[in-house]
Amino acid sequence: MKIALSVKNVSKYFGDFKAVDDVSFDVEDGKFFSILGPSGSGKTTLLRMIAGFYTPSEGKIEIQGRDMEGVEPNKRPVNLVFQNLALFPMMNVYENIAFGLKRRGERGKVVREKVEMMLDRVGLPGFENRKINELSGGQKQRVAIARSLVLDPGVLLLDEPLGALDAKLRENMKVELKKLQAKVGTTFVYITHDQSEAMVMSDYVAVMNHGHFEQVNTPQNLYNSPASSFVAQFVGDNNKFIVKIQKDERGNFSAVTKDNLQFRLDKPYDLEGDNIFEMYVRPESIMINPKEDPNKINSIEVEVKAILFDGGNSRILVVPKNSEKEIMVSLPQNRKYDYLRPKDTIKIGWYHSASVCFKGTGERVYEEIE
């Protein structure tokens, strides 16, 4: 497979501050690659280095096999869809899309044909003479993408382009963007802080934090086997337990919370130092009143504290007996547990293999459930 973009050991300092810290990755031609991270993680800096607005302090960026060092942003085979879209308000839709073509010296019929074809592609045929401020948010989005795609870039960079849209429209645009990428076959490098955007659209996702990549993998693998505490918290939802891991005489590993709840683990862990770990269990992995083999699952008795109805994403909040630790549990969609009421006592359980532990870093991502 051809490599469209290759980033090799790139770092960027702003004074003493290390915004991007030794990042390396390759993006194959035609893939949808996302960089997912909270704000301030350095993802915009990384993108701006690829686009050429910043020069890396260290490392090398290659686009389609060409070293980009010293190449001005207007000479790079990449185009960027800006966060605020940056459509030229003094030009109409046609002039916006034709801008890059004209800078290349293309003139006349070719330009018109390309612009029309592109508008067709993004679903805005006949919009040539519209003014920018007459467009809706979603239409502006498409024009911004069309303006970059018409130049047939080696890599299309997208800087949180859906950020400004309202929630419903954002859902639609996610799907559209994914379909558009499949249709045109251009390599997309997409940055976002929204894990759902990254998961839905991407072939590969890089999770970025404090200037470095925590993990690069397919959305499924990120979800199923997070490589770090940060990824476990940032991708999808998770229940977090602070635990002490022990090994019994038969070589089985188990985790104990400070309330003396004990959970079996199915993997060995390196035990040294204080043995304090963070254990994660997804709300979706937790079963209510499990009927599975008790030897394969951890099961505890809990009291229902609240029922959080949210359509397809409904959960219950439960607290184990003799503990204050709140646990989120997903409710299945089959209305099987409609009878549950607060203060009910139920059993919950999860497979030993459903929990994953990491050596504690003490870092908090969003509001933790502790």
Q: Contact residues for another protein (CB under 8 A)?
A: 14, 19, 44-45, 48, 51-55, 72-75, 78-80, 82-84, 86-90, 99-100, 103-104, 132-133, 147-148, 151
Q: CB of residue 129 vs another protein: minimum separation in angstroms? A: 16
Give dist(CA 221, CA 205) in Å, integer. 10
- Give the nearer residue to another protein in terms of CB position, either 132 or 189: 132
DSSP state of 132: G
267 CB-side CA count, 13 A: 10
- Give the nearer residue to another protein in terms of CB position, either 5 or 304: 5
Q: CB of residue 189 vs another protein: minimum separation in angstroms? A: 14
- Give the nearer residue to another protein in terms of CB position, either 77 or 290: 77
Q: CB of residue 116 vs another protein: minimum separation in angstroms? A: 18
Two tokens, residue 276: 């304090």
- Give the nearer residue to another protein in terms of CB position, either 76 or 174: 76
Residue 242 β-bridge partners: 278
Residue 244 β-bridge partners: 256, 276
140: Cβ contacts below 8 Å, ≥ 6 apart: 85, 87, 132
Amino acid at 182: A
Q: CB of residue 208 vs another protein: minimum separation in angstroms? A: 15
Q: CB of residue 194 vs another protein: minimum separation in angstroms? A: 20
- Give the nearer residue to another protein in terms of CB position, either 133 or 333: 133
Give dist(CA 205, CA 34) in Å, integer. 5
- Give the nearer residue to another protein in terms of CB position, either 188 or 204: 188
Two tokens, residue 117: 């074809």
Q: CB of residue 318 vs another protein: minimum separation in angstroms? A: 42
Q: CB of residue 167 vs another protein: minimum separation in angstroms? A: 24
Rounded to a whole number, what is the largest CA-CA distance in the chain?
81
Which of left, alpha, beta for 256 (phi over 0: left; psi -120 to 50: alpha)?
Answer: beta
| 104-116: burial string, b at 16+ Cβ within 10 Å, e else | eeeeeeebeebbe
Two tokens, residue 124: 């805005």
- Give the nearer residue to another protein in terms of CB position, either 24 or 83: 83
